[in-house]
Structure 1
Amino acid sequence: MPPHNRLLARRAGIDTYQQSVVYMRSDCAVCRAEGFQSQAQVEVIGNGRHLFAILHQVNSDWLRNDEIALSEAAWNLMGATEGEELMVRHPPILDSLAHLRNKVHGGSLAYAALRALMEDVSHGRLPDIHLASFVTVCAGRGLDLGETVALTRAMVDVGERIDWGASPVMDKHCIGGLPGNRTTPLVVAIVASCGVVMPKTSSRAITSAAGTADVMEMLAPVDLDLAAMRRVVEREGGCVVWGSAMRVSPADDMLIRVERPLGIDSEGLMVASILSKKAAMGSQRVLIDIPVGPLAKVRSDAASSQLSRSLVSVGAAMGMQVQTVFTDGSQPVGRGVGPALEAMDVMAVLERRADAPQDLRERALLLAGLVLEMAGKAAAGAGQAMAREALDGGRALARFIAICEAQGGLRVPPKAAHTHCVTAPANGVVSAIDTRLVARMAKLAGAPRDPAAGATLHVRVQDSVRLGQPLFTLHAESLGELQYAMSFVRSQLPIVGIEPAP
Structure 2
Amino acid sequence: MRHIPPLTAHLMGVDTHEEPIIFMRSDCAICRAEGFSANTRLQVQAKEHSLIATLNIVSNELLAEGTIGFSDSAWEFLQLREEQPVHVRHAPLVRSLSALRKKIYGHELNPLEIKTIVHDISRRLYSDIEIASFLTASAAGHLSSVEVTALTRAMVSSGNQLHWSGAERVFDKHCIGGLPGNRTTPIVISIASAAGLMIPKTSSRAITSPAGTADTMEELTEVDLSLEQLQDVVEQTGACLAAGGEVGLSPVDDLLIRIERALDLDSPGQLVASVLSKKVAAGSNHILIDMPVGPTAKLRSVEEANELAGLFRQVAKAMGLQLRCVITDGTQAIGYGIGPNQEARDVLSVLRNSPEAPPDLAERSLFLAANMLSMASGETLDAALPKAREILLSGQAWQQFQRICSAQGGLKTLQEAPHHCRLRAQRTGKLLGMDNRRLAQLAKLAGAPSSPLAGLRLHIKVGNSVIPGQPLATLYADTPGELAYARDYYHQNRDLFDIGPQP
State the TM-score, normalizing by the size of structure 1: 0.96
SS in 1 for 2:38: coil
Q: Is the 8 A contact 1:24 1:65 kept in 2?
A: no
1:213 and 2:214 equivalent?
Answer: yes
Question: Which whole-Å CA distance do the structure 2 matches of 1:306 and 1:284 have between them?
Answer: 22
Q: Is the 8 A contact 1:9 1:70 kept in 2?
A: yes
Question: Which whole-Å CA distance do the structure 2 matches of 1:107 and 1:210 have between them?
Answer: 36
Letter in 2 for 1:85: P
Q: Is the 8 A contact 2:431 2:497 kept in 1?
A: yes
SS in 2 for 1:208: coil
Question: Which whole-Å CA distance do the structure 1 matches of 2:147 and 2:270 have between them?
Answer: 10
Q: CA deviation at 1:467?
A: 2.1
Q: Is the 8 A contact 2:207 2:257 kept in 1?
A: no
Name the residue aligned to 1:449: 450
Q: CA deviation at 1:292?
A: 0.8
SS in 1 for 2:61: coil
Q: CA deviation at 1:354?
A: 0.3
SS in 2 for 1:375: helix
Question: CA separation of 1:417/1:105 partners in 2, compared to 1, >3 Å: closer, same or farther?
Answer: closer
Letter in 1 for 2:151: L
SS in 2 for 1:76: helix
Question: CA separation of 1:339/1:29 partners in 2, compared to 1, >3 Å: closer, same or farther?
Answer: same
Greater Cα offset, 401-410 or 418-427: 418-427
Name the residue aligned to 2:467: 466
Question: Which whole-Å CA distance do the structure 1 matches of 2:5 and 2:242 have between them?
Answer: 42
Question: CA separation of 1:379/1:432 partners in 2, compared to 1, >3 Å: closer, same or farther?
Answer: closer
Name the residue aligned to 1:104: 104
1:393 and 2:394 equivalent?
Answer: yes
Q: CA deviation at 1:38?
A: 1.4
Name the residue aligned to 1:340: 341
Question: CA separation of 1:34/1:191 partners in 2, compared to 1, >3 Å: closer, same or farther?
Answer: same
Name the residue aligned to 1:67: 67
1:181 and 2:189 equivalent?
Answer: no
Question: Which whole-Å CA distance do the structure 2 matches of 1:72 and 1:90 have between them?
Answer: 21
Question: CA separation of 1:223/1:377 partners in 2, compared to 1, >3 Å: closer, same or farther?
Answer: farther
> What stretches of structure 1 move > 6 A for 4+ residues in a row?
none
Residues 57-105 of structure 1: CA deviation (Å, up to 9, x unaligned): 1135222332222222222323322333222222222221222223334
Residues 425-445 of structure 1: CA deviation (Å, up to 9, x unaligned): 122101121112211221222
SS in 1 for 2:174: strand
SS in 1 for 2:187: helix
SS in 1 for 2:220: coil
Question: Which whole-Å CA distance do the structure 2 matches of 1:231 and 1:357 have between them?
Answer: 33
Give runs of aligned pairs for residues 298-317 of structure 1, distance below 5 A.
Answer: 298-317=299-318
Greater Cα offset, 353-362 or 439-448: 439-448
Structure 1 residue ranges without an equivalent (≥5): none
Q: Is the 8 A contact 2:419 2:480 kept in 1?
A: yes
Question: CA separation of 1:60/1:489 partners in 2, compared to 1, >3 Å: closer, same or farther?
Answer: farther
1:436 and 2:443 equivalent?
Answer: no
Question: Which whole-Å CA distance do the structure 2 matches of 1:345 and 1:254 have between them?
Answer: 31
SS in 2 for 1:9: strand
Residues 305-337 of structure 1: CA deviation (Å, up to 9, x unaligned): 110011011001001011100111111111111
Give runs of aligned pairs for residues 93-492 of structure 1, distance below 5 A.
Answer: 93-165=93-165, 166-376=167-377, 378-492=379-493
Q: Is the 8 A contact 1:4 1:29 kept in 2?
A: no
Residues 271-303 of structure 1: CA deviation (Å, up to 9, x unaligned): 111111111111111000111111211111211
1:22 and 2:22 equivalent?
Answer: yes
Question: CA separation of 1:22/1:335 partners in 2, compared to 1, >3 Å: closer, same or farther?
Answer: same
Q: CA deviation at 1:400?
A: 0.3
Q: CA deviation at 1:268?
A: 1.7
Name the residue aligned to 1:12: 12
Q: CA deviation at 1:146?
A: 1.5
Question: Which whole-Å CA distance do the structure 2 matches of 1:263 and 1:201 have between them?
Answer: 22
SS in 1 for 2:215: helix
Q: CA deviation at 1:366?
A: 0.6
Residues 129-182 of structure 1: CA deviation (Å, up to 9, x unaligned): 221221122122222222221121121122222111212100010010111111
Question: Which whole-Å CA distance do the structure 1 matches of 2:364 and 2:47 have between them?
Answer: 51
SS in 1 for 2:245: helix
Name the residue aligned to 2:500: 499
What is the number of equivalent residue pairs in this alignment?
500
Q: Is the 8 A contact 2:208 2:264 kept in 1?
A: no
Question: CA separation of 1:150/1:67 partners in 2, compared to 1, >3 Å: closer, same or farther?
Answer: same
Greater Cα offset, 325-334 or 373-382: 373-382
Letter in 1 for 2:20: S
Letter in 1 for 2:131: L
Q: CA deviation at 1:394?
A: 0.2
Question: Which whole-Å CA distance do the structure 1 matches of 2:214 and 2:12 have between them?
Answer: 28
Q: Is the 8 A contact 1:378 1:386 kept in 2?
A: no
Greater Cα offset, 396-405 or 293-302: 293-302
Q: CA deviation at 1:127?
A: 1.4
Q: Is the 8 A contact 1:5 1:89 kept in 2?
A: no
Q: CA deviation at 1:458?
A: 0.7
Question: Which whole-Å CA distance do the structure 1 matches of 2:230 and 2:378 have between them?
Answer: 24
Q: Is the 8 A contact 1:39 1:56 kept in 2?
A: yes
Residues 437-478 of structure 1: CA deviation (Å, up to 9, x unaligned): 211221222222222111111111111112222100011122
Give runs of aligned pairs for residues 48-67 of structure 1, distance below 5 A.
Answer: 48-67=48-67
Question: CA separation of 1:486/1:403 partners in 2, compared to 1, >3 Å: closer, same or farther?
Answer: same
Q: Is the 8 A contact 2:4 2:87 kept in 1?
A: no
Question: Which whole-Å CA distance do the structure 1 matches of 2:408 and 2:292 have between them?
Answer: 30
